[in-house]
Structure 1
């Protein structure tokens, strides 16, 4: 089999689903991994070239079994996109250990477990790893003690992977999305929040799931063959503004 295969976790919706569709459009096969069996089966049914694998990336035995099944079916992995994640926000004083572990076991442990389990397949193909962190891993924000910390750890894990796996021809990079216009975000973001984000983002808008997917697919492609260990914020310039106040920004005209 010579057709390239991408493994995408958290593939049933959002950025993971958008990335899956972009890979398919480019002629790749995709192993779609998600713990939401019903939603995964629903979306995968209509995607030619995609195969659904139900797996909770935070559970070691499930990860081992899933990667074994992928190896048995495809015998290769040219790209791994560690996208699965959970967002559980709340004030710092409300972050008990249960909430901390709930976030860490998927956002951090899951990236570790799937990456380790996929290493043999990635070595065979000199594949690429793209980990999905967040702008919250690059700059602190309220209500994100566990979430932001988990994403900051993913950023550093990416650098560790790049440093150690380069000798096998494996590249590892990290994408940090800024505010993305997902159904979930639009359901919970008030107009006040939307306006505040627009004011703080130089491009004055949310990103789309497809725009994040385009960056991911580029990093997995041969066009990025000399790119590794990089942390790329796909955020409309949000991270670059630092603590600059929108009111102090020069206006047109």
Structure 2
């Protein structure tokens, strides 16, 4: 069975949408007919394989399969206000920007932890708050890109895990506060692999990681995550593989479509990770 979505005439904003999971989400909405805008601190490059107009929001129609880019730091309230002011209609906001380098509590500066929380929790709050009037007018939806790190212990990226746990709770609060005019849901992403062959622990979301000055994001390269054994994801994840941007995008398309579901958390993690004791017993 094939599920298709029709977003023709809808306007969608994907934060951190220039690379990785965010780019996959943006491409999926564009393919479904939406006029898509992406934002990040730095413009997309030729390596990002993006098509479409890179001009200001509101300048003509989005080419088929493409989307616009607006340069903005979603941690900065003035940037967020400028970003949202470029829309005269907004149907969907996907708060994807996020990430963190490996940041154990010992030896990591308080400023880095604060920036991780700003990017992964405060920024989605600011974007959602600023977009609310337009979303309410359109009867729209917010989709938060959460992380398995916010639903289980996240050693080595505690600030990231705590921020994502806060994001999950924020979505439930907004869903209750803004119902029935705006629906708010969360996609809780597990280990995911992107075109760049980087493994992401849920919502490293590329652009956010770059915002913090690193490519990593509460996550590790495939070889690093399983101690040099890149073949172990099939044994560690019940579904037999890591998630792809397309897997995350499909969940976003469903949650953003008109419907009854709000305040929900949809896990896109292939069943999670098999507990280590199962392998220890087997060995």
Q: In terms of mean alpha carbon deviation, does 138-147 or 111-120 score higher? A: 138-147
Counterpart Cα distance in 1 of 2:21 and 2:30: 14
Matching of residue 126 in structure 1 with residue 139 in structure 2: yes
Matching of residue 110 in structure 1 with residue 123 in structure 2: yes
Matching of residue 210 in structure 1 with residue 246 in structure 2: yes
Within the candidate set 23, 26, 29, 2:29 is matched to 23
Counterpart Cα distance in 2 of 1:110 and 1:195: 36
**Counterpart for residue 238 of structure 1:** 272
Within the candidate set 68, 80, 88, 1:51 is matched to 68
If each structure's helix is expressed as a fraction of its own residues, which one has the higher value?
Answer: 1
Counterpart Cα distance in 1 of 2:158 and 2:280: 29
Counterpart Cα distance in 2 of 1:14 and 1:38: 12
Within the candidate set 90, 93, 112, 2:106 is matched to 93
Q: How many aligned positions are there?
A: 240
SS in 2 for 1:233: strand
CA deviation map 1:123-160 (0-9, x unaligned): 11010000011000111122111110110000000000
Within the candidate set 223, 238, 258, 1:190 is matched to 223
**Counterpart for residue 135 of structure 1:** 148
Does the Cα contact within 8 Å between 1:198 and 1:205 map onto a contact in 2? yes
Per the TM alignment, residue 43 of structure 1 is displaced from its structure 2 partner at its CA by 2.1
Within the candidate set 187, 206, 210, 1:175 is matched to 187
Does the Cα contact within 8 Å between 1:80 and 1:128 map onto a contact in 2? yes
Counterpart Cα distance in 2 of 1:103 and 1:136: 13
SS in 1 for 2:17: coil
Counterpart Cα distance in 1 of 2:20 and 2:127: 20
Counterpart Cα distance in 1 of 2:70 and 2:167: 23
Per the TM alignment, residue 42 of structure 1 is displaced from its structure 2 partner at its CA by 6.7
Q: In terms of mean alpha carbon deviation, does 158-167 or 184-193 score higher? A: 184-193
SS in 1 for 2:106: helix
User: Any unmatched runs of 5+ in structure 2?
Assistant: 1-7, 54-61, 200-219
SS in 2 for 1:213: helix
Within the candidate set 77, 87, 94, 1:60 is matched to 77
Per the TM alignment, residue 91 of structure 1 is displaced from its structure 2 partner at its CA by 2.3
Counterpart Cα distance in 2 of 1:175 and 1:202: 18
Within the candidate set 258, 263, 277, 1:229 is matched to 263
**Counterpart for residue 93 of structure 2:** 80
Does the Cα contact within 8 Å between 1:63 and 1:117 map onto a contact in 2? yes
Q: RMSD of the TM alignment (CA)?
A: 2.3
Per the TM alignment, residue 199 of structure 1 is displaced from its structure 2 partner at its CA by 2.8
CA deviation map 1:166-220 (0-9, x unaligned): 132x110001111111225258231744445433311121111111111111111
Counterpart Cα distance in 2 of 1:83 and 1:120: 20
Counterpart Cα distance in 1 of 2:190 and 2:281: 20
SS in 2 for 1:167: coil
